[in-house]
Structure 1
Amino acid sequence: MVKRGKDDACLPPEPWRVMAVLSVIGFLLIGGMLTSLSVYMVLMQPHFRWSETEMGAGPVALLLGMSAGNLQVSRAMRTVGVRGLFALGAGLAVCGWIAAGFTEALPSFMAAMALAGLGVGMATIVPGIAVLSQSFHRHRGLAIALFIGACALASATMPMVSGRLIEALGWRATFWFIGGAAGLVCAGLAHALPRTLCETSGGDVAPEPGLTREEVLKKPGYWLLVFVLTVSQMSLNAILFNLIAYLRHGGFDPADAVAIYSITNFMSLPGLVIGGLASDRISARILLPAILALQAAGTLALLGVGGAPLWQGRIAIALFIMLWGSVAGLPAQAGAMLLTEMIGQRAYAAMLGIIFTINGFVGALAPVAMGWAYEASRSYAVPVFCLGALTLLASFAALFCRNAPCVALTELSLETE
């Protein structure tokens, strides 16, 4: 039984159950599809004789579809409700993933990935954070961190599961198996979610405090936050979808490269728990710059991979895993918390959707841009250095994201009541 304090009086009976359901759905869709795609691509590239740039087209289509799905969250949630949104999104994701198993050419594969991405966007991060932000008051940061942590756990485990399934069944059958299993589980879990967003706050339909959409769009701090999170996501995507290829070019065999990839994703779990607990006590405008600085340091550590002597490469891998891996899931969590501090809850879902749409569209270009940069320079050193430098710049810019004065005053008045 979860103890409820006076600040949680308006919560539904079991907000942690809602968080658990959202986490399982995110686990299946993010881990089984988004972060496992690189494992499929390793075998699909030689099968279809795709170049490095063409290999990035699948992830780009998936990420673009996910960005489009993020943009539809606020409107769809008002139209079909929370339960209907997650059911629809999961259904689209499953259809796209199953269709990918019938791929015979790059255009059809990109179309399947775009459909899967659309569904993943509509049923994972943005709507999940929006529902949890409405459901939790005292432990909002921890709840969001645990939700994203479930997705990170999936990123650590599901690529290895997908790899084993591909070895046993082949990549086509694995697309069908993962898609079918995710469809069955998500269809059942969607019924455990609240019908509407109002139900997450115990039926209280009074307007939430905060800025309107029009007011938020006029705030320079909002657009600075968009820039900061977009740069971070672009760097994360470039590394995430090219890490296995990068390690293989650095002399690692495929099995070791997948293992390092999974361990790196697994390291985000303790980071998310610590970050979630800290964000309920420390302002996100302090945490976000620190998180981005660690991300930049971890990215730059990759420059030492594959070099001589051997110990240098091992230290570089260890630093990358500890630094980049431990904060890989935190920019989205800290950014979401900072957005709450800046604008309140009134237009939160819509404005969060816009942020994730913009950084999703820009970040979607990262995998193919990374492949193009490698083919142009025959090395990953230059793009990795540029990504690290840009992330460091974003860390500095995050220092200037400020709360909107009217939101700060509203929250202060609520705390004193």
Structure 2
Amino acid sequence: MDDLHSVTPERPDPYRWVIVLSASAMLAVAMGQLVNGLSAFFTPLEEAEGWSRADVALINSAGLIGLALGGIAMGWLADRVDTRKVILTGALVTGLCVTAAGFATALWQLYALFFVAGALGGGALFAPLFALVGSWFRTGAGLAIGIVSAGQAMGQGGIPFANALLIESLGWRGAFVAIGLASLAILVPLALLARAPRRAGPVAAQVAETLPAVPTPVVVALMSLGVVFCCALMSVPLMHLAPLVELCGASGAEAGSVVLVMMIAAIAGRVAFGKLADMIGALPAYLAASAWQTAFVFLFVRIDDISLFYLFAPVYGFGYAGVMTGVLTSIRTLLPAKRRAGGSGIIIAFAWGGHGLGGWLGGLFFDATASYELTFAVAAGAGVLNLTVILLLGWLVIRPCRGTGTRMADGLAV
């Protein structure tokens, strides 16, 4: 059966688009919950349980720490066992843990459940799915990764909005149960579609790679440092935009709809920046997206009208969305295939760690100042540090090309 799907460079297997679309949908469901789906629960948990905003934000941080640690282990495992089994495990654990959150009776239980959901759920989905998609594409990987990343953006906009509606109808406990059961119904069948490409005979020979003359440990170290700052910035609007809008007198559903509008724009942005990476190179595209989110993030706290949030959120969302596409395409470009899974796991672990740190600090700063001014200012500062790291990495990449006649894009294109 698999032989029917053997591919050649001249005749790519059309099943690769099944892989792309199923991966996109799975990440929409799973990452929508683990990255920022909890933002709709901030106010309800504060009011119902009396927990502080920092305490509630730490639930999300626990999930992201689990996602960071689990991503390293599950990425390593996915290279050595059947990828479908790893992905199916992630689908089951994600749905079961979110369902169980509806029955939690103490804050520590939510910390534990989201940590497990991140480590064995999202960790078994994120890196393995992107690695699987990359293995199906020899050319045009930027666009494919952009489409999968766009699915994640769709979930990060749709899940918080759906959670807000579910909370209004079912309460916070019922919302967790409903979204958890829905996740099982969606993720498990999609996980069964996952499989690695089959290449037979001489076609299996690997195409020679053209990589920048920068040692892999240097690339991993610099990208890991950069994504800490990058994702600390990114997490602030994702986790705190909805409660910021609520401070302007909006309802939970209205605040969730602002995030939804931002993430709808992000869907287009992730695809666009994936295509941009194919055109100008992965690292330049990553730099452009990072500069976009750094320049605009602080403007959120200068808005005090719901209609202006609806106008500005998609502008920010289109550009910020290219950051994750840029990270993933840069990893694929700058690391050799034989070290890509391990290096990717480490870099993405730092990314999720930065995401968790930024979300928690945002809540902590709000508790200390009763304002989001400091939260968004620190986010912008983190963005500047990330840009510094990207520029340093770019300088290291192009430096060996001087005097050789090699075009910059040759070392950076996907």
The bucket for the TM-score relative to the shorter chain is 0.7 to 0.9
* 334 and 7 in structure 1: CA distance in 2 versus 1, 3 angstrom threshold: farther
1:218 matched to 2:211? The reply is no
Residues 229 and 332 of structure 1 are in contact (CA less than 8 Å); yes or no, is this contact kept in structure 2? no
Partner of 2:79: helix, strand, or coil? helix
Are residues 162 and 315 of structure 1, via their aligned partners in 2, closer, same or farther at CA, if it must alter by over 3 Å? closer
1:255 Cα shift? 2.9
Give the superposition deviation at 1:193.
1.2
Out of 339, 346, 355, the position equivalent to 1:363 is 355
1:401 to 393, 400, 404: 393
- The 2-side partners of 1:141 and 1:10 are apart by 19
- Out of 244, 251, 254, which is 1:253 matched to? 251
* Structure 2 portions without partners, runs of 5+: none
Equivalent residue runs for 1:92-131 within 5 Å = 92-131=93-132
Per the alignment, residue 139 of structure 1 pairs with 140
CA distance 1:329–1:201, shift in 2 (3 Å) = farther
1:22 offset after TM fit, Å?
1.0
Change (3 A) 1:80 1:252: same
Q: In structure 2, what residue type is equivalent to 1:191? A: L
What is the deviation of 1:209? Answer: 5.4
**CA–CA distance in structure 1, aligned partners of residues 310 and 166 of structure 2:** 27
Match of 1:185 in 2: 186
Q: Secondary structure at the match of 2:280?
A: coil
Task: Name the structure 2 match of 1:377.
Answer: 369
Aligned equivalents of 1:201, 1:383: Cα separation in 2: 50
User: Counterpart of 2:79 in structure 1: which amino acid?
Assistant: R
2 CA distance for matches of 1:218 and 1:119?
27
- The amino acid of 1:299's aligned partner reads V
User: In the alignment, is the contact (CA less than 8 A) between 1:149 and 1:268 conserved in 2?
Assistant: yes
Stretch of structure 1 that moved more, 24-33 or 292-301? 24-33
- Contact in 2 for aligned 1:301/1:316 (Cα 8 Å): no
Contact kept in structure 2, 1:67 and 1:361, CA below 8 Å: yes
Cα displacement (A) at 1:124: 3.2
| Alpha-carbon distance between aligned partners in 2 of 1:202 and 1:364, rounded to the nearest angstrom | 43
Change in Cα spacing, 1:28 to 1:383, as seen in structure 2 (3 Å) is closer
* Pairing partner for 1:305 from 303, 306, 312: 303
Change (3 A) 1:315 1:184: closer
Kept in 2: contact 1:66–1:117 (CA 8 A): yes
CA offsets 1:192-228 (integer angstroms, 9 cap, x no match):
111xx4x36568665675699xx95532x43222222
Aligned to 1:329: 321
Report how many residues are paired.
Answer: 396
- 1:25 aligns with 26
Root-mean-square deviation (Å): 3.0
> How far apart are residue 7 of structure 1 and its match?
7.7
| Structure 1 residue aligned with 2:227 | 229
Separation in structure 1 between the aligned mates of residue 93 and residue 215 of structure 2, nearest angstrom: 31
Deviation at 1:113, TM superposition (A): 1.0
1-structure distance, mates of 2:114, 2:264 = 25
2:311 maps to: 318
Q: Distance in 2 between matches of 1:211 and 1:230?
A: 27
Report the equivalent of 1:340: 332
* Correspondence 1:46-125 to 2 at 5 A: 46-125=47-126
- Secondary structure of 2:99 counterpart: helix
Contact 1:62 1:114 in 2 (8 A): yes
Query: In the alignment, which residue of structure 2 is the partner of 1:349?
Result: 341
SS at match of 1:193: coil
Call closer, same or farther: CA 1:90–1:115 in 2, change over 3 Å: same
How far 1:111 moved relative to its partner?
Answer: 0.7
User: What amino acid is the match of 1:392?
Assistant: V
Q: Return the TM-score normalized by structure 2.
A: 0.86
Q: Does 1:155 align with 2:156?
A: yes
What is the identity, as a one-letter code, of the residue corresponding to 1:253?
Answer: S
- Check the 8 A contact 1:26/1:123 in 2, yes or no: no
Q: Distance in 2 between matches of 1:316 and 1:170?
A: 26
Q: Post-superposition shift, 1:130?
A: 1.1
Where 1:365 maps in the other structure, the secondary structure is helix
TM (norm. structure 1) is 0.86
* 1:8 equivalent in structure 2: 9
> Percent identity, aligned pairs only?
20
Residue 267 of structure 2 aligns to which amino acid in structure 1? L
Relative to structure 1, the CA distance from residue 228 to residue 34 in structure 2 (aligned partners, 3 Å threshold; closer, same or farther) is: closer
- Cα separation, partners in 2 of 1:272 and 1:92, compared to 1, 3 Å: same
Q: Give per-residue Cα distances to partners, 1:24-53, cap 9 Å, x unaligned.
A: 211221224543222133312211100122
The farther-off stretch of 101-110 and 27-36 is 27-36
Q: Give the aligned partner of residue 294 of structure 2.
A: 296
Q: Answer whether contact 2:64 2:353 (CA < 8 A) is retained.
A: yes
Q: Which amino acid aligns with 1:231?
A: F
- Given that residues 150 and 267 in structure 2 are in contact (C-alpha distance below 8 angstroms), is that contact kept between their aligned partners in structure 1? yes
Q: What is the CA–CA distance in structure 2 between the aligned matches of 1:165 and 1:202, rounded to whole Å?
A: 49
Tell me the distance in 2 between the aligned counterparts of 1:34 and 1:363: 8
User: By how many angstroms is 1:357 displaced?
Assistant: 0.6
Alpha-carbon separation, structure 2, partners of 1:385 and 1:333: 24
Counterpart-to-counterpart distance in 2, 1:283 and 1:351: 20
**Alpha-carbon distance in 1 for matches of 2:137, 2:346:** 22
Seen in structure 2, the aligned counterparts of structure 1 residues 175 and 316 have a Cα distance that, compared at 3 Å, is closer
- CA distances 1:347-377 after superposition (whole Å, capped 9, x unpaired): 1121111101122123212222111112222
Question: Structure 1 pair 133/170, CA: closer, same or farther in 2 (3 Å)?
Answer: same
Change in CA separation of 1:314 and 1:166 when aligned onto 2, cut-off 3 Å: closer
String of CA shifts for 1:76-97, please: whole Å, max 9, x gaps.
2134321011001111112211
Other structure's SS at 1:370 match? helix
Distance, in Å, in 2 between the alignment partners of 1:122 and 1:382 is: 31
